[in-house]
Amino acid sequence: MKKAFITGITGQDGSYLAQFLLEKGYNVYGLTRRTSTQNFERIKEIIHHPNLELISGDLVDQQSITFALQDIQPDEIYNLAAQSFVKASWEQPVLTGEFTAIGVTKVLEAMRLACPKAKFYQASSSEMFGKVREVPQNENTPFYPRSPYGVAKVYGHWITVNYRESYDLFAVSGILFNHESPRRGLEFVTRKISNTVARIKLGKEEVIELGNLDSKRDWGYAKDYVQAMWLMLQQDKADDYVIATGETHSVREFLQIACKVAGLGDYEKYYKHNKKYDRPAEVDLLIGNPEKAKKVLHWSPTISFEELVTLMVEKDLEFELKNSN
Ligand code: NAP
Ligand code: G4F
């Protein structure tokens, strides 16, 4: 049985990846940090799986990661943990650097010492392209990050490449464009829209307050994207890949479709601009070119943008109906 170690297992991607690997017959070990109230909501369906073990640790605590890897001796390591909310990275730039940048080196150092034959996946981001130098963006597009988060991810990307080249480790960087799901955190714009629109439909809210509606993102489905992570580690050669749909849509379009799906009609009746959601520096346009992943990994997205919005709104309508207060 193969063994996989996942940092960030309680997050959107970590929870889907753990499920995916358990279904493939892996033994899965998930790093979780100590919190005063448990946050296992996203892994509640798999928490009692006999092949899942949770390990206590934190990206800022080198020893917790090194000891975990010494004990487990995993075949595959997926480093998904990060301070992943772009807006918060201006409010907590130092913490973002510690978790999202230096945290990567800590996991790589632990692997180098404890299990150098393992395969390593780093969760890199299209935020690294920021003020884009090229449209669409591919593996060779130069980076121009626009937030402390984006800067930290550029560090994480290059330290992964550096460890691959310096120590001959199997270390890959997946440059993933935005990917969403009903498990997305409520602070990200897609889930904020799907959830608030559902609440408006059920009479729990009257308006939706948002920032910039004109930025454009290449939005895919998280379940498809965790499969791409796994595929990258099944190759003979470590390499970096862009994972994207190749389509871009504005936040406004997401809102328009979400209102239509919920049967609310014109979004302008509910939308209010609130400048507190605007960013000091914006990423205006992201659109990825996934040709390399399609050719080498035989990966492609399975659902369209409209299907993604529909799936998220319908799930939030169900969720808000169940939690009727
Ligand atoms: P997420 O839902 O925010 O999950 C982040 C995970 O990291 C959570 O499990 C969190 O634990 C954990 N974590 C944060 N700080 C930690 C620390 N100091 N020590 C240990 N664990 C820590 O993020 P996601 O959407 O699943 O994204 C997964 C990864 O992909 C992230 O690195 C993100 O930056 C990157 N990424 C995401 C996207 C996207 O569109 N989703 C695109 C490109 C790249 P708690 O539950 O305890 O907070
Ligand atoms: O949903 P967002 O917060 O995602 P963002 O900044 O694109 O980052 C996400 O994708 C990255 C990949 O490119 C990941 F690396 C990162 O971890 C994260 O998962 O914002 C999307 C857009 C932005 O342009 C933002 O200004 O939506 C705009 N927006 C408008 N109103 C809003 C809001 N974003 C949020 N979160 N909340 C709003 O009220």
pLDDT of residue 60: 96
Q: Tokens 């799930």 map to which residue? A: 315
- Tens digits of residue pLDDT in 309-323: 999 999 999 999 999
- Tens digits of residue pLDDT in 123-164: 999 999 999 999 999 999 999 999 999 999 999 999 999 999
Domains and their CATH numbers in the chain: 3-179+220-243 (3.40.50.720), 184-217+248-322 (3.90.25.10)
CB 39 within 8 A of CB 14: no
**324 pLDDT more than 90:** no
Local confidence band at 325 (pLDDT 50, 70, 90 cut-offs)? low
**222 pLDDT more than 90:** yes
Local confidence band at 281 (pLDDT 50, 70, 90 cut-offs)? very high
The ligand 2 site (C-beta within 6 Å) comprises 84, 86-87, 125-127, 177-178, 187-190, 192, 210-212, 215, 217, 251, 277, 279, 282, 286
Q: Write the CA distances from 101 to 145, 156, 238, integer angstroms.
A: 13, 5, 21
**172 pLDDT more than 70:** yes
Q: Which ligand gives the minimal distance to the CA of 250?
A: 2
CB 68 within 8 A of CB 31: yes
pLDDT of residue 163: 98
The ligand 1 site (C-beta within 6 Å) comprises 7-8, 10-14, 31, 33, 35, 39, 58-60, 80-84, 99, 123, 125, 176, 178-179, 185
Round the average pLDDT of the chain to a whole number and report it: 98
CA distance 79 to 121: 6
* Nearest CA owner, ligand 1 atom 47: 33
> Which residues sit opposite 175 in a β-bridge?
124, 242
The DSSP-derived string for 132-198 is -SSSSB-TTSPP---SHHHHHHHHHHHHHHHHHHHH--EEEEEEEPPEE-TTS-TTSHHHHHHHHHH
- Tens digits of residue pLDDT in 11-67: 999 999 999 999 999 999 999 999 999 999 999 999 999 999 999 999 999 999 999
C-alpha 197 – ligand 1 centre gap (Å): 25
C-alpha 79 – ligand 1 centre gap (Å): 9
CA distance 86 to 63: 28
